Structure 1
Amino acid sequence: MYRFSNSVVGILNLFTIFISIPVIGGGLWLAKNSSTCEAFLQMPLLIIGFVILIISLSGFIGACFNIACALFLYLVIMLVLIFSLLSLTVFAFAVTSKGHGVQVPGRVYKEYHLNDYSPWLRAQVSKESNWRGIRSCILSSKSCSAIAQWTPLDYLEKDMTPIQSGCCKPPTACQYGAQGTVVMGMGGAEQDCYRWNNLPGVLCYECDSCKAAVLENMKRDWQKLSVLNITMLVILVGLYAIGCCALRNTRRAETDYPYGDNRMDKIRPRWDYRWWRWWYDWKERLF
């Protein structure tokens, strides 16, 4: 007879099998459409989708058909996934704890400084191979074309995204002469003042402020992902606990004794044996 924990594991894993299909499909779609800015997510999506599919199949087969080895494989992979997700969440919080926007006096938007962010993130975004792909993504997103026709009054009254603030204009501290020469750059923005160019394909894409804006977007996305990871951790720990009960039930179903080995060594049980057995049977029916 199937017990409650086996039924729960089977139903939930059948549900996650259907969930893994669109995840794998999304990864394949990103792999096919390499022009999208999310193309770098294709491998993680495919790996996550296939891992979910394997775990779900193992849990479903083991719980519904009382196959102990399949359930054992399900619990081992689930344990590895829990520790991996926990490590990723802790790492994400550690590298995104630093860095924030600085309010520009008299303006609505904020500006971002590269040195405010964690050394690991700065090292990743400063690699030429990584920045080349990120720069191409920013160019294809047309973020700067949205503010190309702004008037000076718009810059005073309107807000900007981090990419628009860091990549589409020079830092506010920069002051230029009549021939476009740099007159003054304050607050660590002097190098970015020289990197700025009015050409649509150049602008401030090589500025440190642009790299800082990318890190700000990455920080926000990672923090949202960390909240999702914590929710998934709680769900996975609950599933792991129910899976342990299902594995115990499956192993008992393979023996002649539904309650384990017969260890009774007395002809007449103790006076409270029947009450204890009633309580134990009730728990077994529930779990």
Structure 2
Amino acid sequence: MYRLSNTVIGFLNLFSLLASIPIIGAGLWMAKDSTTCENFLQTPLLIIGFIVLIISLAGFVGACFNVAWALWVYLVVMLLLILGLMIITVFGFVVTSQGGGVGVQGRVYREYELKEYSSWLRDRVKDPNYWTKIRGCILGSKTCASLGAWTLVDYLRNDMTPVQSGCCKPPTSCVYDSTTVMMDQDPDCFKWNNNPNVLCYECDSCKAGVLETIRRDWHKLSVLNVVVLILLIGIYCIGCCAFQNTRRADTDYPYGHNRMTKVRPRWDFYWWRWWRDRREQLW
């Protein structure tokens, strides 16, 4: 049972050290993937992976080899990571609290409006430079190509992803007539074009569909952050115990002594000398 917390924290950090490798690998793989539009996940994955790698290494060395300064660095960085994850998690829940789209009568899929989402997300997709990258990402992923063979029955029965609903077709409310076009329609109706490279990629509904995809993934990431926070707080508490044990070991067994040659307290030395003098007087 001696220094059980050190052993536990050593194994926990060994496992987290090994787990950081696929996290970093996933971030690097996503950076090379040209078919996904969720580039915002690359940086968090890489940052989290490297932080877990560093603090796990420091915690493993400090717990297994009784290096007090390594455990101290481990606890400080772990505390900063916990605080940072708390801020990111709260921000994520606030940002993803809006949206979700509205149902379309007689259809399975939902449609999305840009005004439904938080101003922070709207500002992101309204940036021309950011949207140019997202637009190219959608074109490269061939997301709309799968809808090219759909019939009217398919549009009535099949579901769509948010990006397909917003970018690959005009809003369902649009009315196109061979002779006249209603002028009081959704502005997206006039941005639609049958050209496969145009479609509705400049529509607000397309931007809303992208935000809905980001919102769903970010919400899942926030839920995962809650689980990670609980685990990190538990590991941090064990790490505090390991740090106290290491400091206590340095105090109880100073340099030049080991566990078998523990220094006697001062009062014990005086008591033994008094008993030796009394014994000599008696004999």
* TM-score bracket for the superposition, by shorter chain length: 0.7 to 0.9
CA distance in 1, matches of 2:166, 2:241: 54
Counterpart position of 1:172:
172
Q: From the CA coordinates, give the structure whose radius of gyration is larger.
A: 2
| Preserved CA contact (<8 Å) 2:95 2:121 | yes
- Change in Cα spacing, 1:39 to 1:93, as seen in structure 2 (3 Å) is closer
Counterpart residue number, 1:35: 34
Is this contact kept in 2: 1:176–1:184, CA < 8 A?
no
The whole-number CA distance in structure 2 between the counterparts of 1:137 and 1:263 is: 75
Provide Cα deviations, 1:59-94, integer angstroms capped at 9, x if missing partner: 000000001000000000000000000000000000
Q: Does the C-alpha gap of structure 1 residues 100 and 185 become closer, same or farther in structure 2, counting only changes over 3 Å?
A: farther
- 136-145 or 195-204, which moves further after superposition? 136-145
Residue 208 (structure 1) aligns with = 204
Unaligned runs of 5+ in 2: 254-258, 260-264, 271-283
Identity of aligned residues (%): 62
Q: Residues of 1 paired with 2:35 and 2:144: CA distance? A: 17
1:110-259 equivalences under 5 Å are 110-178=110-178, 182-183=181-182, 185-186=184-185, 190-256=186-252
Instruction: Supply the RMSD in Å over aligned alpha carbons.
Output: 2.3
Q: 1:263 to 1:212 in 2, by over 3 A?
A: farther
Q: Deviation of residue 22 (structure 1)?
A: 1.8
* Superposed displacement of residue 136, structure 1: 1.0
Q: How many residue pairs align between the two structures?
A: 259
> Residues of 2 paired with 1:113 and 1:263: CA distance?
79
Alignment TM-score, normalising by the size of structure 1: 0.84
Indicate the residue corresponding to 2:93 in structure 1.
93
| Structure 1 contact 174–184 (Cα < 8 Å) conserved | no
Deviant stretches of 4+, over 6 Å: none
Segments of structure 1 that go 5 or more residues without pairing to the other structure are: 268-287
TM-score, normalised to structure 2, is: 0.85
- 1:44 paired with 2:44, answer yes
Deviations 1:100-133 (A, max 9, x none): 2111111111110000111111001111111111
